[in-house]
């Protein structure tokens, strides 16, 4: 399949290593939670990697949330792109980390580390989660407070549905007022997450989506399985759906 040319519209710098790339490109329709592939010609070869959309499918520009990977040839170039620069994308998006893979439930838990927040923002920007779930909780776990990105967009969801939506920020490497100072699995185990979210994680009512650091995805699943939740599998509906970011 061929590639399409995209043009950088904007780069948002959150911290020295965290940024979002906004791109205009003609691509086929996609679903919230899916990803594209971005590539640049570096040295004498094309280097490409998958990146999830932050923007909902009906909104432009295309937006991708990224962290520079130490010694990573692609992100260290992407972060220095300027408006008007070219980047190539796939015309078609892929990925099964989408709400249509989930059975219906009362509560939707969206658990992210770092840039794993992106697909959840895309989903929350569509009608589907609001039409299908009564209660929605978004948990964003990062190392430093400055990495709690997209606070304005999240605040808009809180204002839209104050009784149904809750946001729980978590910062692990410094004290941050208003955020839990811990990691996601530990705060499920000791009950702090559910207390702060004012909602319990129950197999009969919850669907849990987990996205980001593969160690966090593994450890969070282990804690949830201890609470009686199971992976969603084709033909065997459960409560846990995951996306590993690397
Ligand atoms: P991160 O190391 O993923 O940390 C984000 C949060 O997850 C931190 O609060 C961290 O807690 C927590 N965490 C780490 N392991 C966990 C576990 N087992 N259970 C629960 N929580 C856990 O940091 P990041 O800034 O989002 O990502 C940075 C690095 O990820 C990059 O430098 C890069 O190496 C890698 N990365 C790679 C790719 C890729 O495509 N190759 C893409 C994205 C990111 P602690 O502070 O306690 O560790």
Q: What pLDDT is attached to residue 70?
A: 86
Q: How many domains does the chain have?
A: 2
Task: List, run by run, the mean pLDDT of 10-residue segments along the chain (246 residues).
Answer: 94 97 98 98 96 98 96 94 98 98 98 98 98 98 98 98 98 97 98 98 98 98 98 95 96
Domain final residue, candidates 24, 54, 89: 89
> Which atom of ligand 1 lies nearest, measured to the CA of 70?
32
Gap between the Cα atoms of 119 and 174, Å rounded: 26
Ligand 1 geometric centre to CA of 196 (Å): 23
Ligand 1 geometric centre to CA of 220 (Å): 14
Domain encompassing residue 204: 99-244
Q: What pLDDT is attached to residue 120?
A: 98
Residue nearest to atom 6 of ligand 1 (CA): 142
Q: What is the CATH number of the domain that holds 163?
A: 3.40.50.80
Question: Does 138 lie in the same domain as 69?
Answer: no
pTM above 0.75, yes or no: yes
For tokens 């992407």, the residue is: 78
Q: What is the CATH number of the domain that holds 31?
A: 2.40.30.10
Structure tokens at 114: 């770092």
Phi, psi of 107 (to 5 degrees): -115, 140
Question: Does 170 lie in the same domain as 218?
Answer: yes
The response to whether residue 86 sits with its C-beta less than 6 Å from ligand 1 reads no
Question: Does 109 lie in the same domain as 220?
Answer: yes
Question: Does 106 lie in the same domain as 73?
Answer: no
**Pairing outcome for strands 86-89 and 35-42:** antiparallel
Q: What pLDDT is attached to residue 105?
A: 98
Domain final residue, candidates 63, 89, 115: 89
Phi, psi of 178 (to 5 degrees): 90, -5
Gap between the Cα atoms of 47 and 73, Å rounded: 8
Q: Is residue 94 part of a domain?
A: no
Q: What pLDDT is attached to residue 92?
A: 98
The response to whether residue 232 sits with its C-beta less than 6 Å from ligand 1 reads no
């Amino acid at each position: 399949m061929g590639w399409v040319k995209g043009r950088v519209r904007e780069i948002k710098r959150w911290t020295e290593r965290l940024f979002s790339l906004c791109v205009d490109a003609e691509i086929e329709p996609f679903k919230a939670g899916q990803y594209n592939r971005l590539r640049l010609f570096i040295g004498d070869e094309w280097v490409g990697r998958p990146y999830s959309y932050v923007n909902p499918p009906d909104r432009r520009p295309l937006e991708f949330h990224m962290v520079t990977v130490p010694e990573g040839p692609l992100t260290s170039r992407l972060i220095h792109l300027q408006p008007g620069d070219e980047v190539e994308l796939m015309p078609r998006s892929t990925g099964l980390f989408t709400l249509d893979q989930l059975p219906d439930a009362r509560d939707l838990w969206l658990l992210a580390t770092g840039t794993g927040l992106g697909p959840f923002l895309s989903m929350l920007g569509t009608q589907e989660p609001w039409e299908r779930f009564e209660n929605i909780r978004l948990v964003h776990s990062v190392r430093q407070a400055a990495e709690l990105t997209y606070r304005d967009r999240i605040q808009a969801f809180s204002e839209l549905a104050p009784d149904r939506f809750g946001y729980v920020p978590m910062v692990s490497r410094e004290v941050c007022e208003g955020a839990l100072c811990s990691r996601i699995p530990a705060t499920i185990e000791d009950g702090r997450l559910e207390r702060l979210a004012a909602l319990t994680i129950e197999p009969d009512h919850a669907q849990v989506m987990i996205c980001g650091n593969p160690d966090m995805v593994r450890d969070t699943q282990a804690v949830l399985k201890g609470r009686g939740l199971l992976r969603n599998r084709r033909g065997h509906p459960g409560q846990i759906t995951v996306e590993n970011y690397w």
